[in-house]
Amino acid sequence: MSQPTTKTDTKTPQTLEEFMAQALVMEREAAQRYNDLADAMEIHNNRDVAQMFRTMAGYEAKHAEQIMQEMNWVEVPGVPTGAWPAMEPPESVPHDEVHYLMHPWHALQLALAAEERAREFFDQLALVATTESVRKAALELRDEEAEHVALVLAWIAKTPKPDAQWANDPDPPRYVD
Ligand code: ZN
């Protein structure tokens, strides 16, 4: 129904370079958000979960480094606008979901949702990939995201679920920034 897509309309990456550039942006954003979550948990004196988020941030940052090396990039390439179907790269935890009274359990739920979105994203990309190199790269990244999902689930399993009153505060609640 539509005209052939232009280079700037890259909802589906056509080349390995395009795909990897998008994946790189995603990994870098994800690392940043995990560091934000770690900061939030440190404010609550929850060092364990803060440490867990730092570890996740490290994984995502390492991922980004690997992509740079694999592609022989010395600089982060620009990603065409419109590269993402949604407003946020799929792996990022939206800032407005970070509540100031958030317990580790909630932070972990956000992380889980982000990792599941990332896994689904790469899974879908593998399905629609038009080149074998993109398909292969998408499957590899999907498997690594699946490992992240498992990791977060393991943390959730040992994290107590807060009671239903967790967000009650005598002072009017406000969201963090
Ligand atoms: Zn991940």
Q: What is the CATH number of the domain that holds 36?
A: 1.20.1260.10
CA 87 to ligand 1 center in whole angstroms: 18
Contact 133, 110 (CB under 8 A): no
Q: How far is the CA of 177 from the centre of ligand 1 (A)?
A: 24
User: pLDDT below 70 — which residues of the chain?
Assistant: 1-12, 79-102, 164-177
Two tokens, residue 33: 């958000």
Side chain identity, residue 63: H
For residue 97, what pLDDT is reported? 59
Phi, psi (degrees; rounded to nearest 5) at 120: -60, -40
Which pair of tokens denotes residue 26?
């995603």
Separation CA 115–CA 153 (nearest Å)? 10
Give distance in angstroms: CA of 91 to centre of ligand 1: 7
Question: 148 CA distance to ligand 1 centroid (A)?
Answer: 5
CA of 147 to the centre of ligand 1 (A): 8
| pLDDT number for residue 9 | 41
For residue 104, the model assigns a pLDDT of: 81
CA–centroid distance, residue 114 to ligand 1 (Å): 8
Q: How far is the CA of 12 from the centre of ligand 1 (A)?
A: 20
- Give residue 60 CA to ligand 1 midpoint distance, Å: 6
Please tell me the predicted confidence (pLDDT) of residue 146: 96
**Which residue, among 20, 11, 6, 176, has the nearest Cα to 98 in the 3D structure?**
176
Residue 93, judged by CB atoms within 10 A of its CB (0-12, 13-18, 19+), counts as: buried
Give the pLDDT confidence score for residue 23 in this predicted structure: 86
Distance 115 CA to ligand 1 centre (A): 5
pTM of the model: 0.71
Count the Cβ atoms, other than its own, within 10 Å of residue 161: 11
pLDDT value for 163: 75
User: In terms of residue numbers, what domain contains 128?
Assistant: 16-157
Within-domain flag for 173? no
pLDDT at 7: 41
Residue 146 lies in a domain: yes
- Confidence at residue 58, expressed as pLDDT on a 0 to 100 scale: 95
**CA 173 – ligand 1 centroid, Å:** 31
Is 8 part of any domain?
A: no
Domain-located, residue 67: yes
11 assigned to some structural domain: no
141 within domain boundaries? yes
Residue 140 has a pLDDT of 92
The reply to whether 170 falls in a domain is: no
| 58 CA → ligand 1 middle, Å | 10
End-to-end CA distance of the chain: 43
- Overall domain count for the chain: 1
If you measure from the C-alpha of residue 131 to the centroid of ligand 1, how many angstroms do you get, rounded to a whole number? 23
